[in-house]
Structure 1
Amino acid sequence: MVHCSCSLFRKYGNFIDNLRLFAKGGSGGMGYPRLGGEGGKGGDVWVVAHKKMTLKQLKDKYPQKRFVAGEGANSRVSALQGSKGKDCEIPVPVGISVTDENGKIIGELNKEEDRILIAEGGIGGKFLTNFLPLKGQKRIIHLDLKLIADVGLVGFPNAGKSSLLSQISHAKPAIADYAFTTLKPELGKIMYNDFKQISVADLPGLIEGAHMNRGMGHKFLKHIERTRQLLFVVDISGFQLSSQTQYRTAFETIILLTKELELYNEGLQKKPALLAVNKMDLPDAQHKFHELMNQLQNPKDFLHLVEKQMIPERNMEFQHIIPISAITGEGIEELKNCIRKSLDEHANQENDAHFKKQLLNLRVSNTISYSKPPSKHVVTSSKKNII
């Protein structure tokens, strides 16, 4: 069991990553039966992404968390067609997933100015409605923030992730001398000489049992779902959270981190992954690194060191393993180059797979179109299967 002071959780509580809102589309306007006039449609409620917005700012600005669009104007002699009610826009951060009350995903906002309609306004009174307006749609929605970054740092507390982020990017995360050094996600950008930029997310440190929501488990794990690749960061000297918890070697740390990801979502293990072995400036680090490489190359010979229930079904396969020191800067340039190389390789693989899929769909659609002449009642198109 892990104990942590309440003050840490209060500080972390200032960072909000989910919010429940009420939204209601505007009612339509009254129709004008005698002259056949139609009332205006009620306004709609939209969720709109803004780069500089946070969920905490949204909550502070709208403490009632109620968003109601304007009503449509009534039809009248001077304006038989009533004007539409004013739309309501809810400003949210980029990287928001919007779900309804039942957990069904309505949509995601992944870039600036993305928008999703969440509550539609009612239609105005017209002949079909006996000139009576309809009410707007009512809806309770959940906003769930999941960071979008190229690289997500994975590691137990005090592995040196925050120090590493400050070394490889322009981010300046607050680093404190206690177990949970990162109390909220920090985002940095690696800048390359040719102006290429790669975003890196440092997330609150995992602990054993994170998949069961111990510590900051789910707050961490859900964010890593929205990163393109993982960068494991481990302390070459191992890890021990407190005097009451078990000491873990660097090898055991990697096994336990892998298991936590697997227990939360097996799909996370399929992401491209790199391993940064940190604190190589410590005495005897070189010897321990050679020992770790041997263990990683022959993992089955060393799994007896870990409790059986903590052994993952499949081990992580690291595309690159880089010894570094976030303090002295050793290996940092090589790590930055490996991160870029790995992302480029993965992007090329995705492009090749997309091209092959397009080609296959084109062949299939052409086969369907030309294998037999279409009947005079059926219209076929070779375009409909092309992505």
Structure 2
Amino acid sequence: MSYSFKNVLYRFNINVRYSSSLKINSKPLRNHLKHNSKFLDSLRIHVKGGTGGFGYPKYGGLGGKGGDVCLVATEGMTLKEFLTKYPHKKLQAETGGNSHSRRILGLVGQEKKVNVPIGISVYDDNNRLIGDLNEDKSELIVAKGGEGGCKVNGFCGKKGESRSIKLELKLIADVGLVGFPNAGKSTLLKSISNAKTKIASYPFTTLRPNIGIMSYKDLRQISMADLPGLIEGAHCNIGMGHRFLRHVERTKLLLLVVDINGFQLSPLKKFRSCLDTIVLLNKELELYKEDLLEKPAMLLINKMDTEGAKEKYLEIQEKIENLNDAIYLYPEDVRPKKAIKFDEILPISAKNEPGDIEYVKTIIRDILDIKEEINNVTDNKSLNKLKDSLRERGPVLV
């Protein structure tokens, strides 16, 4: 089939116009919205215990038990490293040895020991917790090996346990920063610790958890995690939802950070005042897990260096300090059942006031130390005596 020069040119022009329109319409994603694969905190894998070895009917020999699959919590390990080592996400232990005329008792199959990060929770297919690995070198068997062949099972070794499991990392940090996007959490973490965090004026700067270490002159160190910003509905897994909230569970202190000027996610969303954001954060934590409200908590009212900030703070100060009464000013759908109790409320400027940062470090340390002292007291008489002495110290509430 032959084409005239006009037909070829016509087809060429159509293709050029079509290609150009694709380029115009396909806008590249902004860097902060691109998927960040550096941090992995959830992984589903398949584990299989070794099959038991055959028995030896002639002499009543017993087959060796199949090996177990065991996870070992390891300092410095990450799920990304785990995935690099086991890209197929399958773990299998060795088969037990067979019984024979020269070895009546078959050898036990070698167990499969695999390193995982500290802070891993392991769940089965029904989302039931199998176990936690919170301490270095702690171990958890996730798939048991099958029994060796014997008279009871006809000398045929049983198959090992085989199932899918989910590894879910919950960060272990002393302090967890909680707040809506753009509240200044990353700025605070960068100022207060050695963490290298990304800071910008748009929401969702933090797409993955950042951990910083606060160092003190006496060499004491306290870890702080800046977690991705919450949005309304996080408890229903909206936005970063559960992926954020589960990291809060293993922190010792909740540090809520709010913008004195309020927050608005986008022009299509409702503007929330500073007090609104505190109540909504309270509600999201409660809906996810009520136990979180029992944790020690501290509130930072950030960006106090902005115009009109002092006046705004004075308007809401009494309501914040009496949050248990203030929550009843809100409709039932956003009102928490219980107000979170703050051990300390501090108005600060994380960006421009170094003195504020040093004071925050001091208060955080005081709260953690006091709570530890209280937790170590066993009888009520000693507890009351300790609380009386702590009240005299100030300024941290007990």
TM norm structure 1 = 0.84
Q: Corresponding residue for 1:240?
A: 264
Does 2:279 correspond to 1:255?
yes
Tell me the distance in 1 between the aligned counterparts of 2:324 and 2:255: 23
Tell me the distance in 2 between the aligned counterparts of 1:299 and 1:271: 16
Distance 1:301 1:318, change over 3 A: closer
Does 2:149 correspond to 1:114?
no
Tell me the distance in 2 between the aligned counterparts of 1:124 and 1:205: 52
Tell me the distance in 2 between the aligned counterparts of 1:8 and 1:88: 40
Tell me the distance in 2 between the aligned counterparts of 1:99 and 1:89: 18
Does 2:291 correspond to 1:267?
yes
Tell me the distance in 1 between the aligned counterparts of 2:71 and 2:32: 32
Q: Of 312, 322, 325, which aligns to 2:349?
A: 325
Q: Corresponding residue for 1:202?
A: 226
CA RMSD after TM alignment: 2.3
Q: Corresponding residue for 2:368?
A: 343
Tell me the distance in 2 between the aligned counterparts of 1:25 and 1:9: 41
Q: Corresponding residue for 1:169?
A: 193
CA contact (8 A) 2:120 2:168 kept: yes
Tell me the distance in 2 between the aligned counterparts of 1:97 and 1:231: 24
Tell me the distance in 2 between the aligned counterparts of 1:341 and 1:177: 32
The one-letter code of the counterpart of 2:96 is G
Q: Corresponding residue for 1:136?
A: 160
Write the deviation string for residues 345-382 of structure 1: whole angstroms up to 9, x where unpaired: 211221124x67xxxxxxxxxxxxxxxxxxxxxxxxxx
Does 2:228 correspond to 1:182?
no
CA contact (8 A) 2:324 2:338 kept: no
The one-letter code of the counterpart of 2:350 is A
The one-letter code of the counterpart of 1:204 is P
What is the percent sequence identity of the aligned residues? 49
CA displacement at 1:284 relative to structure 2: 2.7
Tell me the distance in 2 between the aligned counterparts of 1:302 and 1:81: 72
Q: Corresponding residue for 1:45?
A: 69
CA contact (8 A) 2:260 2:309 kept: yes
CA displacement at 1:250 relative to structure 2: 1.4
Does 2:166 correspond to 1:148?
no
Q: Corresponding residue for 1:34?
A: 58
CA displacement at 1:224 relative to structure 2: 0.8
Distance 1:303 1:87, change over 3 A: closer
CA contact (8 A) 2:328 2:335 kept: no
CA contact (8 A) 2:72 2:137 kept: yes
The one-letter code of the counterpart of 2:363 is C
Does 2:93 correspond to 1:65?
no
Tell me the distance in 2 between the aligned counterparts of 1:225 and 1:141: 21
Write the deviation string for residues 40-98 of structure 1: whole angstroms up to 9, x where unpaired: 22111011112222223323432322211111122234433322212112322111111
Tell me the distance in 1 between the aligned counterparts of 2:41 and 2:327: 36
Tell me the distance in 2 between the aligned counterparts of 1:305 and 1:330: 35
CA contact (8 A) 2:183 2:302 kept: yes
**What secondary structure sits across from 1:11 in the alignment?**
coil
CA displacement at 1:9 relative to structure 2: 6.0
CA contact (8 A) 2:327 2:339 kept: no
Write the deviation string for residues 159-191 of structure 1: whole angstroms up to 9, x where unpaired: 110111111111112234421011011112212
Q: Of 223, 230, 255, which aligns to 1:231?
A: 255
Distance 1:307 1:12, change over 3 A: farther
CA displacement at 1:297 relative to structure 2: 3.1
CA contact (8 A) 1:23 1:140 kept: yes
Write the deviation string for residues 134-171 of structure 1: whole angstroms up to 9, x where unpaired: 22111221211111111111111011101111111111
Q: Of 338, 348, 354, which aligns to 1:314?
A: 338
Unpaired segments of 5 or more residues in structure 1?
A: 357-387
CA contact (8 A) 2:32 2:205 kept: no
CA contact (8 A) 1:26 1:71 kept: yes
Tell me the distance in 2 between the aligned counterparts of 1:300 and 1:112: 40
Tell me the distance in 1 between the aligned counterparts of 2:290 and 2:33: 28
**What secondary structure sits across from 1:341 in the alignment?**
helix
Q: Of 334, 338, 341, which aligns to 2:359?
A: 334
**Which range moves more in the overlay, 15-24 or 149-158?**
15-24
TM norm structure 2 = 0.81
**What secondary structure sits across from 1:34 in the alignment?**
coil
Q: Corresponding residue for 1:123?
A: 147
Tell me the distance in 1 between the aligned counterparts of 2:86 and 2:283: 40
Tell me the distance in 2 between the aligned counterparts of 1:24 and 1:306: 52
CA contact (8 A) 2:324 2:339 kept: no
CA contact (8 A) 1:324 1:330 kept: no
Q: Corresponding residue for 2:8?
A: none
Q: Corresponding residue for 1:213?
A: 237
Unpaired segments of 5 or more residues in structure 2?
A: 1-28, 381-398
CA displacement at 1:320 relative to structure 2: 0.8
Does 2:251 correspond to 1:222?
no
Q: How does 1:70-81 map to 2 (within 5 A)?
A: 70-81=94-105
